[in-house]
A and B are shown apart, each in its own frame.
Chain A
């Protein structure tokens, strides 16, 4: 009962502290809004392409290419015949046109300014398709010319390639992404408040009164930790709810599992705070250490900007951040329905929590008083 009494007192005072409320509730919401809005372009999955303008010269004495030009016009690709006053290669070099096509009886040649440009790639793809179709027609003409018409008119299709995304419509938008990473970052900041759970009692001298009461040190410790866990969990749930309702953040179909992973992160953060408070000598030291750790973990864990496919030493550093694991786990759970992704994150959290709690419990047993 004393455990609950101490826990309840902690929860009550946590929610009376305006600094805690700002830091745990207002700060993440504002950060989500700012980063989610400011960096929304980096999360788009469509790329706008303007009309494409192409120069061409047809010396094939055939009508086939004109048919292609007519068809391409419908897709916003405009062909313009080269005149004597124009040097087509120069025009393309100067980016006045996206490409230049020479059509001869021997074949077709394409000049583009930059082989990697989207417009160049589109042109290349369309012309390759055209040439392939022409070659097929030539082969049919050689073997069975009577079937040529039926080959190209019967059930004509333009959907030879069906694009199927591995995760159809399941890529996080910027708000989805920042809802996850800011929430996990704020959870880690919970270590700051838990680092003062015992220290604050010593500073306020209430530690003596607690120890003088018929309550075991273990009960005080458990009550304090429990109160902090509940306070942090309530804050996280409110942040999730707010981001879901007002930012339309996608928290997926396995919200229970997501919250469970976040709960293990809360346990880790609270344990880290309380463990560090016993490892350091001054009351300010654990806060400085936690601030530094969370900043680095956030930076390398992708809390401020998305880190795609890190390589080499950078990959190693990102993997040292617990946020990398928890962000990856939650993202996979939400966007790939991969619940097994939770295992590494949960393991890291609970192992770390166990180590820090052991440090705290051993230190507490050795101390006289709190």
Chain B
């Protein structure tokens, strides 16, 4: 059964088309990764699914029902973890979760049990009487999640839930996502951290300029670019690097500079290694190391969009 079905969804802001005739489905039990650079239309799509924005065209079905016509049903089954912390600093952790869970019709003993359950799930049961202003960034993020799951939604939308937190909290949240999925929740997950998406998502959509440009499992996405290889060359200094002249070498498809590392994406069918090294020597670029990398999601994203996800 599909938890989410999007058909021909379009959203315009004046003349700007943020989401352009998008269609996709998310099946029950999936962790669906949503990848896109800033301004690609990812947040607009998520906001339309969560009912924060109205679409200009198209249909969103949640659990088989039209979300626009069955707004209450759709919202009852969605848990939204927004990118920005959406918690009240002047209420305790317990009160925050209780207030938001109460909006979903939970009352009395059931409400209290669900609140405790949610706080325990995110590891904040010992801090239930504390105010968020005494929390670390990771703890606030976990409270942000607890506020979205206490009503046991079928579909949880997580928009960049690990932004700006320490590795320990990040691992905690990623484990929580897996656990929620094991408990039967379907999850839509967006992140700038490609390795996170690669690690936990069962299926991924890459969105660019309001359109889905690739969709599938990570293996399927990587197979798109099996005709290319990545060459990482570390140099002493990148001052003299001329990206355009490297791109001009036969077979080179994309070049990206990351500190002293030059990442060259090249056609596997063209043997151009000698020419690349010759270019570096002629440009007086001192090579420190050279390695050929297997394609990953970042390579896929770069190849498909021509942009790096994090450096927007």
Interface segment out of the listed A207-215, A292-300, A307-315: A207-215
Bound: A368/B11 CA distance, A: 13
A369:B82 contact, CB within 8 angstroms: no
Q: Check B102 for interface membership: any CB of A closer than 8 A.
A: yes
Given contacts A13-B91, A369-B52, contact A210 B103 (CB under 8 A): yes
Bound: A9/B76 CA distance, A: 21
**Would you give the 0/1 interface string for B97-118, flagging 1 where the beta carbon is closer than 8 Å to chain A?**
0011011110100000000000
**Would you give the 0/1 interface string for B54-75, flagging 1 where the beta carbon is closer than 8 Å to chain A?**
1000000000000000011001
**Would you give the 0/1 interface string for A1-33, flagging 1 where the beta carbon is closer than 8 Å to chain B?**
110010001001100110000000000000000
A214:B52 contact, CB within 8 angstroms: no
Question: Max chain A CB contacts within 10 Å: which of B76, B84, B99?
Answer: B99
Given contacts A17-B90, A208-B80, A208-B82, contact A213 B52 (CB under 8 A): no
Q: Check A162 for interface membership: any CB of B closer than 8 A.
A: no
A213:B75 contact, CB within 8 angstroms: yes
Q: Which range holds the interface residue count of chain A?
A: 20 to 34
Bound: A17/B89 CA distance, A: 11
B51:A209 contact, CB within 8 angstroms: no
Q: Check A142 for interface membership: any CB of B closer than 8 A.
A: no
A212:B50 contact, CB within 8 angstroms: yes
Report B-chain residues with C-beta under 8 Å of the C-beta of A205: 82, 84-86
Bound: A88/B91 CA distance, A: 83
Main secondary structure of the interface of A (DSSP, over half): helix
Report A-chain residues with C-beta under 8 Å of the C-beta of B51: 211-212
Q: Check B213 for interface membership: any CB of A closer than 8 A.
A: no
Main secondary structure of the interface of B (DSSP, over half): loop
B residues neighboring A (CB under 8 Å): 47, 50-54, 71-72, 75-76, 78, 80, 82, 84-91, 99-100, 102-105, 107, 147-148
Bound: A204/B82 CA distance, A: 12
12 extra interface residue pairs, beta carbon distance < 8 Å, beyond A2-B103, A204-B86: A1-B105, A5-B99, A9-B91, A204-B89, A206-B87, A208-B80, A209-B82, A209-B148, A212-B75, A213-B100, A214-B71, A214-B72
A residues neighboring B (CB under 8 Å): 1-2, 5, 9, 12-13, 16-17, 204-206, 208-215, 368-369
A369:B80 contact, CB within 8 angstroms: no
| A209 nearest in chain B by CB position | B86
Specify which of A204, A215, A368 is in contact with B103 (CB 8 Å cutoff).
A215
A369:B100 contact, CB within 8 angstroms: no
Report A-chain residues with C-beta under 8 Å of the C-beta of B71: 214
Bound: A17/B53 CA distance, A: 32
B80:A214 contact, CB within 8 angstroms: no
Report B-chain residues with C-beta under 8 Å of the C-beta of A211: 51-52
Question: Max chain B CB contacts within 10 Å: which of A209, A210, A215?
Answer: A209
The smallest beta-carbon distance between B135 and chain A, in angstroms, is 15
Bound: A1/B90 CA distance, A: 22
Given contacts A13-B90, A16-B90, contact A5 B102 (CB under 8 A): yes
Report A-chain residues with C-beta under 8 Å of the C-beta of B99: 5, 9
Bound: A209/B86 CA distance, A: 7
Report A-chain residues with C-beta under 8 Å of the C-beta of B105: 1, 214
Give the 9 A-B CB pairs with smallest separation, nearest first. A213-B103, A205-B84, A212-B80, A214-B75, A209-B86, A205-B86, A214-B72, A212-B50, A206-B86
